[in-house]
Structure 1
Amino acid sequence: MHQPDPAGRPPTPDPRRHQRLFFALLPDASTREAMARGVDTQLGAGISGRRTAPALYHLTLSYLGEFDNAPALLVDAACRAAATVCVPAFDLRLSRLGSFRQGRGWLWWLGPDATPPGLQALWQVLDAALLGARIRRPPDTAFRPHVTVLRGCDRAPPADTLVDIVWLVREFALVSSQAGAYRSHGRWPLGDGRRAVR
């Protein structure tokens, strides 16, 4: 943990040290390429912002928090909870390029028009497993499925911006991110969540 300085001021977090721990869907290489092409076709001249590297594309299922180092006990408990999840594989159609207001700019994302039943089932079953394992999560746990593709943009995309990307979702993962890199703590295939790859 960070210690306050002698003057009693709160510590300044070092973003290079902090880890964010979350369950996510991670697209395969061909899906990542399709996402990147979909974004490229919509980025006109003069649009500012920081592109998300395609290798970092993900759809968050459940955010477990931010830590100096993700506690091993939490990681193990989360993996055990994930191993109880058993839902069918499904296809996810990304059909919209939308945005959220973020500070002074806009965050752009790819997402579905509506949460498909397969994705909703995965989120609900995983959420129940985490609750059953008494894993506490940050208070804002509303499910808003999206893949962030651009941050700090000076405008929102047009409201009618459409894409058509079919993502074959066959597994989910527990991931920690730190300094712009991901580490996988486990992957669970859909249809039989008891066969983990760690």
Structure 2
Amino acid sequence: MSPAPSEPRGPGRHRLFYALWPDALVAEKLEGLQAGVAGKKTQRQDFHLTLAFLGEQPAQALPVLESVLNRLSRPDMTLVLDRYGCFKRLDLLWAGMNSVPQALFDLQLSLSMALRASGIVFKQETAFRPHITLARKAKTMPETDFSPIVWSAYSLVLARSESMPGEGRYRILASR
């Protein structure tokens, strides 16, 4: 069983999450939504839709986490990103969906259940609010709508947060 996510990061610990990862074309379109946005913009290679944030996990949990990933059905759904949103408390600007497909909620629930069944301890959000972060420390919302971005979501990943200036913030450890 993994330790609680509130434990400090130390040697052999990783800050991990599961996410849907967009292809290069969708990432390019998302980057285009950042035009005129003030704040710390997400780099193109880092765009993702988080399904479960695991927080700090020990390195020895990685085989179990990869096994959970491999047991999940490969996603095969179309997401239509068609709205801006923000989490004001976090000053976070995001792109999301007016109509979220049930398949996305089902995938997120299956993942959460598989993690619990595998003994992985993590803080679960009270409500799943699917979004893709465009910018942090964003003080204003864009005033215009954008043309919908159609995303055939099929890449599910286990990723790690890293500090690599200029190289991206996240590293994919395993994918399905």
Give the TM-score normalised by structure 1.
0.73
Letter in 1 for 2:161: S
Q: Matched residues in 2 for 1:147 and 1:88: separation?
A: 17
The residue aligned with 2:111 is 126
- The range that moved more, 115-124 or 57-66, is 115-124
Work out whether 1:98 is the aligned partner of 2:93: no
Offset, 1:118: 2.0
Offset, 1:19: 4.2
Offset, 1:139: 4.2
**Equivalent residues in 2 for 1:1-198, closer than 5 Å:** 19-40=14-35, 43=36, 48-66=38-56, 70-86=57-73, 88-103=75-90, 106-158=91-143, 161-180=145-164, 181-188=169-176
Q: Which has the higher contact order (CA 8 A, sep 6+)?
A: 2
Offset, 1:24: 0.6
Unaligned runs of 5+ in 1: 1-12, 189-198
Q: Matched residues in 2 for 1:173 and 1:39: separation?
A: 24
Which has the higher Rg, Structure 1 or Structure 2? 1
Task: Give the ranges of 4+ consecutive aligned residues of structure 1 lying more than 4 Å apart after TM superposition.
Answer: none
Letter in 1 for 2:121: R
Q: Matched residues in 2 for 1:32 and 1:161: separation?
A: 18
Offset, 1:38: 2.8
The answer on whether the counterparts of 2:38 and 2:138 sit within 8 Å (CA) in structure 1 is yes
Q: Matched residues in 1 for 2:75 and 2:52: separation?
A: 18
The residue aligned with 2:3 is none
Q: Matched residues in 1 for 2:125 and 2:87: separation?
A: 15
- CA gap of 1:102–1:27, structure 2 versus 1, over 3 A, is same
- CA gap of 1:39–1:54, structure 2 versus 1, over 3 A, is same
Offset, 1:64: 0.5
- CA gap of 1:141–1:130, structure 2 versus 1, over 3 A, is farther
Offset, 1:60: 0.4
- Give the secondary-structure state (helix, strand or coil) at the position aligned to 2:116: helix
The answer on whether the counterparts of 2:84 and 2:145 sit within 8 Å (CA) in structure 1 is yes
- Give the secondary-structure state (helix, strand or coil) at the position aligned to 1:135: coil
Aligned residues: 163
Offset, 1:162: 4.1
Could you report, residue by residue, the CA deviation over 1:106-164 in whole angstroms, capped at 9, with x for unpaired residues? 21101111321221121111111111112111143521100001111222344x73440
Letter in 2 for 1:20: R
What is the Cα-based RMSD across aligned positions, in Å? Answer: 2.3
